[in-house]
Amino acid sequence: MKTKTFLILEDGHIFSGIGIGSPREVISEIVFNTSMTGYPEILTDPSYAGQAVCMTYPLIGNYGICYEDRQSNQVWPDALIAREFSRTFSNFRSQDSIQNYLKSYDIPAIEGIDTRALAKVLREHGTMNGMVTTNSNYDLSQIIPKLKKHKNQYPVRKVTCSKKQIFEGTGFKVALMDFGAKKNIVDSLRQLGCEVTIYPAFTKAEEIFSDKPDGIILSNGPGDPREYTDIVREVRKIYDFDIPVFAICLGHQLMALAAGLRVRKMKYGHRGANHPVRNQDTGRVSITSQNHGYVVDSASMDERIAVPSYINVNDNSIEGLKYVDRNIVTVQFHPEASPGPQDTRNLFNRFIEMMGGHVYA
């Protein structure tokens, strides 16, 4: 039986469609992703904690779910929105349908709405909160104040690991700060022979230093980096310590804040697998995977602290920083993802070189 389901935005826009997955009601921040593929990775990316994701590509689920592609062992978005969910799937690696997968994790989903119209609303008016509900007797006078009041507060608490984890290797020892780290970050490092130790987000810098790592990675993750003042204090200690650092996405923003730069909220963010960035040293343009709603404020840049290493070709926003007099490199995009498919994977090789090693291509 098909269940009529509604998406209600805080500005009063209402979209109606058919419910898929869990019938429960959710309030969440509504964002859109322009990727044509990669929905299993999106569903399991901890950076989406506290958000409901609208996929602008019209057909989602056609190649099913392969558990090997998951970036964590949990589904993180509050809800998934699509024009159509495929009723059949075809892929020699697939193990489940997207419908069953969503149901097994109690995730609401809605199909049958004009997702490109929704994306245009979000582009024109900015990211906003919304509700997915099966209640046809909704009362906007009660719902809209709830939507405007809703905040995705401190989601790093939800996604970080609870204790230190060690993945053995024969090469450099890397400390990975887990603000919502994707599995591919660990995999990329281990493919280069690294021993990876994952630390919970709230680990004191002194504990990491006492383990004597060769380098530190600050991971991706969800939420407003300006809210994480306690984490920024520890990152400042890492900034002041003489050790190679590679930071990705949220980690990139946290390092900027720790160094005294500013971060601002974007109107609707960058989410997709087709974002072009230009290397400022070489002029080469790479296609990158991105998922962020905040960005380092270019108006706060101080060349005595850092200089941009990558710039977004579409909007000229900062996509990477090289820190002056520090062995620190940070990027806003995801080099562990495969949109290009491996346009920026060389950044992990560069991290190995920052630690004193060499990778032969």
- Domain boundaries along the sequence of the chain: 4-149, 156-354
Q: What is the mean pLDDT of residues 183-194?
A: 95
> Given this model, what pLDDT does residue 7 score?
98
The one catalytic residue among 270, 275, 292, 334: 334
Distances (CA, A) of 346 to 249, 321, 335, 343, 355: 17, 16, 8, 8, 15
> Given this model, what pLDDT does residue 132 score?
98
Is 60 exceeded by the pLDDT of residue 200?
Answer: yes
4-149 CATH fold: Glucose Oxidase; domain 1 (3.50.30)
> Given this model, what pLDDT does residue 68 score?
92
Is 70 exceeded by the pLDDT of residue 124?
Answer: yes
Nearest 10 degrees: CA dihedral of 101, 105, 108, 112? 0
Mean of per-residue pLDDT scores for the chain? 95
Is 70 exceeded by the pLDDT of residue 92?
Answer: yes
> Given this model, what pLDDT does residue 281 score?
95
Q: What is the mean pLDDT of residues 286-291?
A: 94
CA 65/CA 49 separation, integer angstroms? 20
> Given this model, what pLDDT does residue 2 score?
81
Among 193, 159, 167, 194, which residue's Cα sits nearest to residue 72?
159
The one catalytic residue among 249, 252, 275, 292: 249
Q: What is the mean pLDDT of residues 234-239?
A: 98
Q: What is the mean pLDDT of residues 3-12?
A: 96
Tell me the helices (H) and strands (E) count for the chain, helix number first. 10, 19
Is 90 exceeded by the pLDDT of residue 357?
Answer: no
DSSP string, 207-230: HHHHT--SEEEE----S-GGG-HH
Among 22, 28, 34, 32, which residue's Cα sits nearest to residue 8?
28
What's the number of CA atoms in the CB half-sphere (13 Å) around residue 110? 28
CATH superfamily of 156-354: Class I glutamine amidotransferase (GATase) domain (3.40.50.880)
Q: What is the mean pLDDT of residues 38-63?
A: 97
Annotated catalytic, 195?
Answer: no
Is 80 exceeded by the pLDDT of residue 146?
Answer: yes
Is 60 exceeded by the pLDDT of residue 360?
Answer: no
Binding positions: 47, 221, 223, 250, 253, 291, 293-294
Annotated catalytic, 227?
Answer: no
Is 70 exceeded by the pLDDT of residue 269?
Answer: yes
Is 80 exceeded by the pLDDT of residue 329?
Answer: yes
Is 60 exceeded by the pLDDT of residue 216?
Answer: yes
Among 122, 54, 53, which residue's Cα sits nearest to residue 83?
54
pLDDT band at 361 (very low <50, low <70, confident <90, very high): very low
Task: Pick the more confident residue, 274 or 131.
Answer: 131
Binding positions for L-glutamine: 47, 221, 223, 250, 253, 291, 293-294
Distances (CA, A) of 331 to 201, 271, 344: 19, 15, 10
Task: Pick the more confident residue, 338 or 312.
Answer: 312
> Given this model, what pLDDT does residue 338 score?
67
Nearest 5°: phi and psi at 37?
A: -135, 180
Express as a percent the part of the chain with pLDDT over 90. 94
CA 351/CA 131 separation, integer angstroms? 42
Q: What is the mean pLDDT of residues 98-110?
A: 96
Q: What is the mean pLDDT of residues 28-34?
A: 97
Lowest mean pLDDT among 62-66, 238-242, 336-340: 336-340
Is 90 exceeded by the pLDDT of residue 35?
Answer: yes
Cβ atoms < 10 Å from Cβ of 229:
9
pTM of the model: 0.96
Q: What is the mean pLDDT of residues 155-160?
A: 97
Cβ atoms < 10 Å from Cβ of 204:
12
218-234 pLDDT per residue, tens: 999 999 999 999 999 99
> Given this model, what pLDDT does residue 43 score?
97
15-25 pLDDT per residue, tens: 999 999 899 99
**Amino acid (1-letter code) at residue 81:** I
The one catalytic residue among 29, 111, 195, 336: 336
Cβ atoms < 10 Å from Cβ of 300:
15
| Residues near 179 by beta carbon (within 8 Å), at least 6 away in sequence | 156, 159, 160, 201, 218, 219, 220, 221, 231, 250, 251, 254
pLDDT band at 155 (very low <50, low <70, confident <90, very high): very high
Annotated catalytic, 334?
Answer: yes
CA 196/CA 213 separation, integer angstroms? 9
Express as a percent the part of the chain with pLDDT over 70. 97
Is 80 exceeded by the pLDDT of residue 358?
Answer: no
| Residues near 229 by beta carbon (within 8 Å), at least 6 away in sequence | none
Q: What is the mean pLDDT of residues 62-91?
A: 95
Nearest 5°: phi and psi at 292?
A: -160, 150
CA 238/CA 280 separation, integer angstroms? 26
